[in-house]
Amino acid sequence: MEVLEKYGHGGDWVSAAKRYGLPANGFLDYSANINPLGPPQSVISALQTQLQEVTRYPDPAHRSFRHALGKRLNLHEDWLLPANGAAEAMALALLALRPQKVGVVYPCFSEYAQLSEQFGARVISCYGREEHGYKAEETQLYRLFQQADLVFIGSPNNPTGILYTAEELQRMAEWTAKTDTWLIVDEAFLDFVEEEKPFTLVDQLEKYPRVIVMRSMTKMYAIPGLRLGYAIAHPEVIARMKGKQVSWSVNALALVAGELCLEEWEYERQTRELIAQERAYLSTALQQEWDWKVWPGKANFLLVRTSEEWTAQELQEVLGKKGVLIRSCAMYPGLTARDFRIAVRKREENERLLGAIREACLERGTYR
């Protein structure tokens, strides 16, 4: 059977609707990791009142948004490059730096390898060990830096949710000078970590000119359809990336939304509180009720391994027919056919997910 994630990502409602015979808006989507609170009300209101922006070209220099972002991050605007989602920022880095060999640590976000190969690089890899939360051992990782021109690191890593500490990131940043390697740290899900400062190099980038940090605004603020992210790096690197960016790649409504999102401190606090609470609830329920393995991720999703009665794709099929989407991780290098990923959502939604799993297990006769 063809995998549901034929385009490489979760959240494909169109494919799900065709496959399971339900309307595209009729699913409870646990396959994409988006803030369950939905977009801030300020953003919804602004988009409704500023639709006339679609009659004008967006600012090609993203000036107002960059100014607000620099103020929020306490960085000069020259260190920032807004992009059409973090994926575009990654593509711009690859186009600007032109690495011949790109290193990844499996399991990881599929776009690292996909984009690298798309732009002519050869992907080399090492594998994180399961008992270490799928982090690579230091000797393996250093060897990867020695072999590659550029290395991608996800923190929190997708799909495991595992964080690298500031000390680990600093060590990698120091390797970049020794090995003449670029380091891209993908922090797309760092917003969901309660205390993010100990887990980022953003305030130390002056010391590390070969380090680029990528961030997404679509996950925390629930605006994936608008596409908005940004890169943080030394101004010379930002200028090289900007030189590869297509004019007006960031649309006007995304820039309006992004500027407002940067003011949503209370919304962010409520989100982190909700995610921490519901992540613990889901993790405990899956382990206690089914004895499934759950990795202790720190983001707004969980990596889960079923018992031997199920493969991830079998569970995905049964739940899909019940209107619940999960992300099979069977195609991630380094994971198994029994691994799947679920988003963390509100309590009533999480109870519906657990209820659907319970029904599926009862139907199969595997409920204990």
pTM, full prediction = 0.95
pLDDT at 241: 98
Query: Is 305:339 a contact under the CB 8 Å cutoff?
Result: yes
What does pLDDT average to over the chain? 94
pLDDT at 200: 93
| Architecture of the structural domain at 13-30+266-364 | Alpha-Beta Complex (3.90)
153 pLDDT tier (thresholds 50, 70, 90):
very high
What are 26-78's pLDDT values in tens digits? 899 999 999 999 999 999 999 999 888 889 999 999 999 999 999 999 999 99
Say how far apart CA 81 and CA 93 lie, in whole Å.
11
pLDDT at 137: 92
pLDDT > 70? residue 1: no
Class of domain 42-261 (CATH, top level): alpha beta
pLDDT > 70? residue 367: no
162 pLDDT tier (thresholds 50, 70, 90):
very high
Average pLDDT over residues 266-286: 97
Which part of the chain has CATH 3.40.640.10? 42-261
pLDDT at 133: 87
What are 312-321's pLDDT values in tens digits? 999 999 999 9
Which part of the chain has CATH 3.90.1150.10? 13-30+266-364
pLDDT > 90? residue 349: yes
197 pLDDT tier (thresholds 50, 70, 90):
low
Average pLDDT over residues 176-194: 96
User: What's the per-residue H, E or C state across the chain?
Assistant: CCCCCCCCCCCCHHHHHHHHCCCCCCCEECCCCCCCCCCCHHHHHHHHHCHHHHHCCCCCCCHHHHHHHHHHHCCCHHHEEEECHHHHHHHHHHHHHCCCEEEEEECCCHHHHHHHHHCCCEEEEEECEHHHCCECCHHHHHHHHHHCCEEEEECCCCCCCCCCCHHHHHHHHHHHHHHCCEEEEECCCHHHCCCCHHHCCHHHHHHCCCEEEEEECCCCCCCCCCCCEEEECCHHHHHHHHCCCCCCCCCHHHHHHHHHHCCCHHHHHHHHHHHHHHHHHHHHHHHHHHCCEECCCCCCEEEEECCCCCCHHHHHHHHHHCCEECEECCCCCCCCCCEEEEECCCHHHHHHHHHHHHHHHHHHCCCC
pLDDT at 364: 85
Average pLDDT over residues 133-157: 96
CA distance to 156, 277, 290, per residue, from 282 (Å): 18, 9, 12
